[in-house]
Structure 1
Amino acid sequence: MLDKPERIFDREFEWRHLSAFAGRAHERPQLGVISGRRRQGKTFLVEALARETGGFYFGATEATETESLRLFSDALADYADAQVPMRFASWDEAIRQLFLVGADRRRPLVIDEFPYLSKVSPALPSIIQREIDRAVSSRAPVSLLLCGSAMSVMGGLLSGSAPLRGRASLELVVRPFDYPLAARYWRIDDPRLGVLTHAVVGGTPAYLRFVNDDIPAGLDDFDDWVQRTVLDPGTPLFREARYLLEEEADVRDSALYHSVLAAVAAGNGTRGGIAGYIGRKAADIGHHLNVLEDSCLLRKEADVFRQGRSIYRVCEPLITFYQMVMRPQWGLLESGRARSVWLDARTRFRDQVIGPHFEQLCREFARVEPVFGELPGEVGAGVVADPSRRSQIQVDVVVFAPAVPGQPHRVLALGEVKWGKRLTLEHAARLQRARELLAAKGLDVRDTVLACFSGAGFDPALRTESGVRLIGLEDLYPPRA
């Protein structure tokens, strides 16, 4: 196990797998694929791995095939201490030479931002597949890591009938930090401030550098922090949400994709709702939704109580913030009117950004820990129909036990979430009614916990109510040991 460099914050899981991959480099041929949205620290990890092991690292750039080959040739010649310059006429020659060097050195070989190369040289995955197969046949100990940020491209490398399918021994996705870890990374101890900050920048590590290590000093500083960082056109974070979309290889008409994201950020999560918001037919936006899903900018979540019904949600908090706060007043922001725009947008931020974001954090809280007696099988949200009252009950957090064939689905918890309101006995009564309706539908609710999540506290009467679990900010952000 390689010691993780001190400059790498956390990433214990990722480093353990990369270290194990490097440890097998002298034994047998292997292929690894590392993906993740931009700014998550993938390059930081693979560069550190190459440095610690004496491996080869090549970071591709947007270039023609000829220029990319020249840059690759120079990097490989330098690594191999070649006495004469290497010049390859094709990737066929270049990859063959790379595998020869790899078999000789027995160290990891890293090609970063691989989608830049495969975009201008579509045959490259097939060439690598052929050389991997040859290495397997000859038992040549070559260890190749392909790394990239274009999720739609990287996700397709090992899928379906792709040339590299079945060849990889490592498939690693580098994800944003979860919300408690993000608070630690930003050195934020106040749970309320942690939620507010996460609703803007999420768990992407690079954004701390984008704001020059500017951290909100406290709740009283949050408004000023927003204005001097994400709303300031002089910071890299200002245009980041636009770049996240435009950097994806499969995005052509970015205006339409921005409209789809705006629709979802505004709460129009169904396909019909999205289509109505942007003025298109539902059948016309299927491709755009698929591209945004493949790019990990949207995710589709099932309504846990209504089969066949699903809702789309924006994956990246910064995109939601951009769509709801920044995009409607982009011209004013570019002219330096951050204060005026933020004063006008604070209500939208509270209702359409922080509220839904807090609900998502509560579902994440319920998903990762056995907070309701045992590890959950499924966590989501759903709508329970109440025919006798001709109404519906929206349940923000639903936790199921792992399914057991032949037995009714067991509900561990039903949760109500409010960011800016104190929860009362009325909210508990709604959950109790939902539990009764689910029992009538045949679900097992004998041990179902009624959970009230709040960012603003609880009514004194609710605190004395038996059978109701109260979960506040201090529970979502427990003190570090």
Structure 2
Amino acid sequence: MFIDRKTELGLLNQRYQSAQAQLFVLYGRRRVGKTELLRAFCTDKPHLFFIATLSSDAEQLATFSQQIYGLLHAEVLPGFTYPSWEAAFRALADLPMQPRPIVVLDEFTYLISGNKAVPSILQKVWDEKLKDTQLMLVLCGSYIGIMETEVLGYQAPLYGRRTASALLRPLDLPSAALFYPHYSAEDQFTAWAVVGGMPFYLRIFQDSQSIFANIRQHILDAQTGTLFNEPRLLLMEELREPRNYFSILRAIAQGRTRLNEITQAAGVGDVNTTARYLDILQQMRLVTRRVPATEPQPEKSKKGLYQIEDHFLRFWFRYVHPNQSSLDLGLADAVLTQRVQPDLDHFAAAAFEEAAVTLTGRLAQAGQLDFLPERIGGWWHRKAEMDVLAVNLTEKTALVGECKWSIHPVGTRVLDELKQKAQIFQQEHGIENIQYAVFARRGFTPELEEASQAEGVRLFTVESLVNPG
């Protein structure tokens, strides 16, 4: 099952239909679906799909040589290997160019780790030969930091050669919900709140059983849970000092969101040391730093709050990592009933706020707001906090929103409290025109719906977030 990725497929096909040679760079976190996307793109086109491994440089070259030889000749010559990477890359120019061939070098960072000269060699051959062919060459990698420095960076040999690039991000909520057609909108949202938008994780949950049954079987079971060790393996593979990163991620998952708080809770050194670790986690798209949407220079703001960006890592460091010993003893049922079930609504509330901010961005893109926002996000102040804010400070106009992941319908009291917060916000930033929105899990009371009609307050349920179209 291949879901969504219409934008990325459209970009790949647009480049494929170009009349010039293409050097396309696709990168993104492991498990995000890069290989599946490229296989879907290549399905009806002539292609060579080479997946690099951690084997020796000589073995990689031999495997790549065999694949090229197989495209150029009717019979494969056992043991054939090009004498060098340069010779192998030059051979790509001999591939039949009608119809246009695609050559995918998947896990390109493994090639670099085995032979640092590969990017320079490829750059030389591209400049001398390949750029004048009809070849579409795709470089794909999972180590975001390496791809951005060694392939896309200003100092990289291949800098300036790429014709297009894309950072593949996790699926959004509406796309993730398509994995679970038999779930209610509320359960579709909760599944996304737990496993996030990584296709590999989404496929593991089954909508033939409850959310809690999925969590128990696939995450908490130390013996057979497919996802039980997933974050540990991910971080140990990609980081040199995983223990320190584990401490930082656990601190954030437990609610320490400011740099000083994380430093004290994690115990990995001073704030400068912690900041360096956090920078790397941000480069990997595992952690994000949020600031109020009104901050003019977000990178310099002292109001930054750190949050684990990946939902599943957030879940794992909140419920699995702290209960590792109990889970190793086979106490998955006890951890589920005593730790996960009583707290899951509180955990899902943060994802609900994220989804509300994202929906607000969609409304702006579709021209469904009454103004053009300059920034969209959240807002917090020493006196008040708002979950959703879309603001144009120049025009002094804003939309403010409150999110309630409650099992009860939301009433007018929530709107009244939002208006009080909005007054503080208006005084702080000189906003003249303000609009209101309320996002609720289980709908609204008749009184709030009546107030919505009278005052133009926008009301959104979980169904609105899961199925925005």
Q: TM-score, normalised by structure 2?
A: 0.88
What is the Cα deviation at residue 107 of structure 1? 0.8
Q: Any conservation in 2 of the 1:99–1:131 contact (CA below 8 Å)? A: no
**Residue 421 of structure 1: CA displacement?**
6.2
Residue 258 of structure 2 corresponds to residue 270 of structure 1: yes
Specify the code of the residue in structure 2 equivalent to 1:195: F
Matched with 1:12 is: 6
Deviations 1:135-192 (A, max 9, x none): 377x233321001111222222212322222211121222222111111122244121
Output the CA distance in 1 between the equivalents of 2:363 and 2:468: 15
CA distance in 2, matches of 1:289, 1:272: 12
The residue that corresponds to 1:382 in the other structure is 379
Paired residues for 1:326-365 under 5 Å: 326-346=320-340, 349-350=343-344, 352-365=346-359
Residue 3 of structure 2 aligns to a residue whose secondary structure is coil
Q: Distance in 1 between matches of 2:372 and 2:178?
A: 25
Deviation at 1:120, TM superposition (A): 1.7
1:60 paired residue number: 52
The counterpart of 1:154, out of the listed 130, 147, 157, is 147
349 and 12 in structure 1: CA distance in 2 versus 1, 3 angstrom threshold: same
Determine if contact 2:231/2:316 at 8 Å carries over to the other structure.
yes
SS in 2 for 1:267: coil
Matches within 5 A, 1:46-445: 46-81=38-73, 84=77, 85-101=79-95, 106-135=100-129, 139-156=132-149, 157-211=151-205, 214-217=206-209, 221-233=210-222, 234-248=224-238, 251-279=239-267, 280-306=269-295, 308=301, 309-346=303-340, 349-350=343-344, 352-370=346-364, 372-373=369-370, 376-385=373-382, 392-401=383-392, 407-411=394-398, 413-420=399-406, 422=408, 423-445=410-432
> What is the distance in 1 between the residues matched to 2:155 and 2:384?
44
Q: Aligned-residue CA RMSD in angstroms?
A: 2.5
Q: Decide whether the 8 Å contact of 2:294 with 2:375 is kept in 1.
A: no
In structure 2, C-alpha distance between the alignment counterparts of 1:266 and 1:459, rounded to whole Å = 33
Pairs aligned (count) = 452
Counterpart code for 1:383: W
Partner residue of 1:452? 438
Letter in 2 for 1:176: P
Residues 3 and 175 in structure 2, CA contact (< 8 A), matched pair in contact too: no
**TM-score, normalization: structure 1?**
0.86
Gaps of 5+ in 2: none
- How far 1:420 moved relative to its partner? 2.4
Offset of residue 59 of structure 1: 0.7
Structure 1 unpaired stretches of 5+? 1-6, 386-391
CA–CA distance in 1 between the matches of 2:36 and 2:211? 29
**Percent identity at matched positions?**
27
Contact 1:53 1:107 survives alignment (8 Å): yes
